[in-house]
């Protein structure tokens, strides 16, 4: 979302420059110290009752409400939540079951050293803001070596062009980009279990291999073959470093000679539907003849190293998009499938009709990790919901997100009268976003969407003389709460709002995005009445000078409605 982030950054800079002309510069001195962190200052330092509006990038600062106390010099900004968000990659240290790394959709890497109790962002990290972390890999023999792959994303959140691979040789303290992968859109990196010097990466441009732990990379797919491009998944046969399976956006391929020649590893004739993306490949470590692959049409299983395939039954068609296939490290008969509709589990090696759903269907599972030393503890990396953990072998899962923040925070305001109560609006989170409320100055947060549903909240405003009344501008119109955000009702169609873009009223009803909320013309209780203006021309001029930007709306009557 690079374009959107740039727009928001420019808007934020303009706001800061304007406010700095009327407010002491010390108010803003600490903003840059947490440039990409979700921020909610303690209530004693926030000027409450201000409107906060406009979308922000994930983890970014959108609106700043200034501090009202006189002591500004010893204040710093800290990440306070709301916790959670997208987890795009997980990896667990082979020597320490409590040491786990999590990658985000905004190029950040978080670390926990206590099994997920607390997460902290690695600084300075790989410095890949605006890219998505696609893979994190601990070296199996030298765990202080950590490999990371990233890919570019567009303003719409889709894959762009470009990416990179990074290496840390000191357990994540320092990172350097691997020269041979500069500019490559990296989707996966795997290490041979037979020879740890061998790494293979799948990229948009082709399959790359390193024989020296990432120091030098060579492309091993022909540059002039249009079929051998746009690779997603890759796997190395545990018996032979030269046998590699690779999944493209159109069926899988296989080489048995280190990339000198490639053959299709699945066709309609061998039992695999002529489909699209091969998103995951898994080779059974104990029995490498058994190979599992996931495609848009479902999961396929081969018992003879991809000579023939059978489509696995038991997972519904709606859950066919499988992001990851994961074999339990100490229970090889247990296979996990992370899909766009939750986690699925097989207890007999992934055979047909052996699968059951292990989580809510509302979850999108991106990553799964289990440490051999803690076989009953399972970590899931999800879309929107952060990290989930199970301590009972997958029977129950609960959030493990303290300190992990990867959300689009659009607006932050403090309650006018109740110390410690803070409201935050969240964007682009279809299952766990909307409005969050903290009662303890940002230490903990609770979602509060009763009557509103899960929506994108662009802006928030609290009425000065009606402390319990809040307005929320959402992607489905304007909502009102009369009990400090606990319950919400949509603004009725007959109660208009003025569109600052074209000086005409639009109804605040379902289906109409409201990007920001500001005091406007009289008509609703609690909104300030502007000075009486006799001429329509002056009213329109006043409207254009209102404290709103393009794309915002103000509740009230039409300028010519009196």
311 within some domain: yes
Q: Which pLDDT score is estimated for 282?
A: 96
**Ranges 38-42, 104-108, 255-259, most confident:** 255-259
Q: How far apart are CA 471 and CA 372, in angstroms?
A: 50
Residues 444, 537 share a domain: yes
Could you tell me which residue, 52 or 411, shows the higher pLDDT? Answer: 411
pLDDT-derived band at 493 (thresholds 50, 70, 90) equals: low
By the 8 A CB rule, do 48 and 413 touch? Answer: yes
Is position 426 within any domain? Answer: yes
Q: Is the pLDDT of residue 368 over 50?
A: yes
**How many domains does the chain divide into?**
2
Percent of the chain with pLDDT over 70: 73
Residue 453 lies in a domain: yes
Q: Report pLDDT for 316.
A: 83
Q: Give per-residue pLDDT as tens, 527-546.
A: 444 444 444 444 444 433 33
Average pLDDT over residues 386-413: 93
Residues 316 and 424 placed together within one structural domain of the fold: no
**What pLDDT, on the 0 to 100 scale, is given for residue 318?**
75
What's the pLDDT at 494?
Answer: 56
In this structure, the answer to whether residues 435 and 523 fall within a common structural domain is: yes
Pair (413, 543) in one structural domain: yes
**Which of 130-144, 210-224, 340-354 bottoms out in mean pLDDT, i.e. has the lowest?**
340-354
The pLDDT-based confidence of 281 (bands split at 50, 70, 90) is: very high
Q: What is the pLDDT of residue 453?
A: 80
- Rounded mean pLDDT, 21-33: 28
pTM above 0.85, yes or no: no
User: Does residue 250 belong to any structural domain of this protein?
Assistant: no
Q: Quote the pLDDT of residue 5.
A: 43
**Per-residue pLDDT band at 517 (split at 50, 70, 90):** low
Burial category of 74 from C-beta neighbours within 10 Å (exposed 0-12, middle 13-18, buried 19 and up)? exposed
Q: Is 186 domain-assigned?
A: no
Band (24; pLDDT cuts 50, 70, 90): very low
Per-residue pLDDT at 16: 34
Q: pLDDT for 180-193, tens place per residue?
A: 999 999 999 999 99
413 shares a domain with 371: no
Tell me what the mean pLDDT of segment 241-247 comes to. Answer: 98
In this prediction, residue 495 carries a pLDDT of 52
> Residue 303 maps to which CATH number?
2.20.25
> What residues contact residue 554 under an 8 Å CB cut-off, 6+ apart?
497, 498, 500, 517, 518, 519, 520, 521, 546, 548
Q: φ, ψ for residue 339 (rounded to 5)?
A: -120, 180
On the question of pLDDT at 42 being above 50, the answer is no
Is 16 within the bounds of a domain? yes
Q: Comparing 184-193, 349-358, 360-369, which segment has the lowest mean pLDDT? A: 349-358
The model's confidence at residue 548, banded by pLDDT at 50, 70 and 90, is very low
Please tell me the predicted confidence (pLDDT) of residue 75. Answer: 66
Q: pLDDT tens-digit profile of 301-325?
A: 999 999 999 998 888 877 778 999 9
Please say which residue of 354, 375, 396 terminates a domain: 375
pLDDT category of residue 346 using cuts at 50, 70 and 90 = very high
- Looking at the fold, whether 550 and 411 belong to one and the same domain comes out as yes
Question: Residue 17 has what pLDDT?
Answer: 38
Q: Which residue has the higher pLDDT, 519 or 274?
A: 274
Check whether residue 369 and residue 500 sit in a common domain. no
Instruction: Report CA dihedral (351, 353, 355, 356) to the nearest 10 degrees.
Output: -170
| 442 and 323 within one domain | no
Q: Band of the pLDDT at 203, cuts 50, 70, 90?
A: very high
pLDDT score recorded for residue 135: 98
pLDDT in tens, 126-165: 988 889 999 999 999 999 999 999 999 887 778 888 999 9
At 430, the pLDDT band (50, 70, 90 cuts) reads low
Q: Is 21 exposed, middle or buried (0-12, 13-18, 19+ CB in 10 A)?
A: exposed
Instruction: Please choose, from the candidates 238, 240, 315, 243, the residue with its C-alpha nearest in 3D space to the C-alpha of residue 283.
Output: 238
Which of these ranges, 134-148, 293-307, 416-430, has the smallest mean pLDDT? 416-430
- When pLDDT is cut at 50, 70 and 90, the band that residue 269 belongs to is very high
Asked which of 358, 375, 392 is the last residue of a domain, the reply is 375
Q: Which residues contact 264 (CB under 8 A, 6 or more apart)?
A: 251, 252, 253, 254
Residue 132 CB: number of other CB atoms within 10 A?
Answer: 24
Q: What is the pLDDT of residue 513?
A: 54
Cα separation, 246 vs 283, in Å, equals 12
Domain holding 440, by residue range, is 2-82+407-555
- Mean pLDDT for 440-468 is 84
Cβ(167)–Cβ(145) below 8 Å: yes
pLDDT tens digits for range 43-65:
333 333 344 544 444 543 333 33
Query: Does a structural domain hold residue 507?
Result: yes
Q: Of 192-196, 378-382, 465-469, where does mean pLDDT reach its minimum?
A: 465-469
Q: For residues 158 and 335, give the distance between their C-alpha atoms in angstroms, rounded to a whole number.
A: 29
Q: For the chain, what is the mean pLDDT?
A: 79
Same domain, 507 and 425: yes
Closest Cα to residue 481, out of 522, 444, 434? 434
Q: Does one domain contain both 436 and 549?
A: yes
Indicate the SS3 state at residue 181. Answer: helix
Spatial distance between the Cα atoms of 68 and 553, rounded to a whole number of angstroms: 28
- Is residue 462 domain-shared with residue 527, that is, in the same domain? yes
Q: Are residues 339 and 477 in the same domain?
A: no
Percent of the chain exceeding pLDDT 90 equals 52
Does residue 293 lie in a domain region?
Answer: yes
């Amino acid at each position: 979302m690079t374009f959107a982030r740039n727009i928001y950054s420019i808007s934020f800079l303009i706001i800061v420059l304007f406010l700095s002309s009327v407010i002491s510069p010390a108010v803003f001195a600490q903003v840059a110290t947490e440039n990409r962190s979700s921020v909610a200052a303690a209530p004693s330092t926030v000027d409450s009752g201000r409107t906060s509006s406009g979308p922000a990038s994930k983890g970014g600062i959108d609106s700043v409400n200034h501090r009202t106390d006189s002591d500004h010099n010893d204040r710093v900004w800290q990440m306070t939540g709301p916790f959670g968000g997208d987890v795009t990659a997980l990896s667990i240290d082979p020597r320490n079951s409590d040491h786990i790394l999590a990658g985000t959709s905004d190029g950040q890497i978080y670390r926990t050293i206590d099994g997920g109790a607390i997460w902290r962002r690695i600084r300075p990290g790989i410095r890949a803001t605006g890219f998505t972390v696609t893979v994190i890999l601990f070296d199996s023999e030298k765990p202080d070596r950590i490999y990371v792959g990233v890919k570019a994303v567009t303003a719409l959140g889709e894959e762009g062009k470009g990416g990179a691979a990074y290496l840390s040789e000191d357990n994540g303290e320092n990172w350097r980009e691997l020269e041979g992968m500069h500019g490559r859109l990296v989707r996966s990196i795997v290490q041979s279990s037979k020879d740890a010097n061998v790494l293979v990466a799948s990229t948009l441009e082709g399959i790359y291999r390193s024989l020296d732990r990432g120091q030098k990379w060579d492309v091993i797919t022909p540059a002039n073959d249009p079929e051998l491009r746009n690779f997603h998944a890759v796997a190395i046969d545990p018996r032979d470093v030269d046998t590699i399976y690779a999944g493209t956006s159109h069926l899988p391929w296989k080489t048995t000679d280190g990339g000198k020649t490639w053959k299709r590893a699945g066709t309609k004739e061998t039992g695999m539907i002529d489909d699209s993306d091969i998103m995951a490949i898994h080779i059974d470590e104990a029995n490498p003849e058994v190979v599992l692959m996931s495609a848009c049409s479902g999961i396929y299983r081969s018992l003879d190293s991809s000579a023939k395939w059978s489509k696995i039954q038991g997972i519904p068609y709606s859950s066919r998009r499988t992001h990851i296939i994961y074999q339990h490290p100490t229970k090889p008969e247990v296979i996990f499938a992370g899909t766009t509709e939750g986690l699925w589990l097989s207890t007999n090696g992934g055979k047909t009709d052996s699968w059951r759903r292990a989580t809510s269907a509302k979850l999108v599972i991106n990553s799964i990790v289990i440490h051999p030393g803690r076989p009953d503890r399972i970590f899931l990396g999800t879309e929107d919901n952060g990290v989930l953990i199970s301590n009972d072998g997958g029977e129950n899962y609960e959030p493990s997100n303290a300190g992990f923040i990867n959300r689009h925070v659009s607006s932050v305001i403090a309650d006018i009268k109740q110390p410690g109560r803070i409201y935050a609006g969240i964007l682009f989170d279809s299952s766990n976003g909307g409005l969050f409320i903290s009662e303890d100055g940002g230490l903990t947060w609770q979602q509060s969407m009763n009557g509103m549903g899960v929506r994108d909240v662009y802006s928030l405003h609290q009425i000065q003389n009606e402390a319990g009344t809040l307005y929320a501008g959402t992607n489905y119109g304007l909502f009102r709460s009369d009990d400090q955000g606990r319950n919400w009702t949509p603004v009725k169609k007959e109660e208009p709002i003025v569109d600052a873009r074209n000086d005409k009223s639009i109804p605040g009803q379902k289906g109409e995005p409201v990007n920001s909320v500001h005091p406007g013309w009289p008509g609703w209780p609690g909104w300030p009445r502007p000075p009486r203006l006799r001429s329509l021309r002056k009213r329109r001029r006043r409207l254009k000078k209102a404290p709103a930007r393009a794309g915002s709306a103000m509740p009230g009557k039409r300028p010519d409605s009196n």
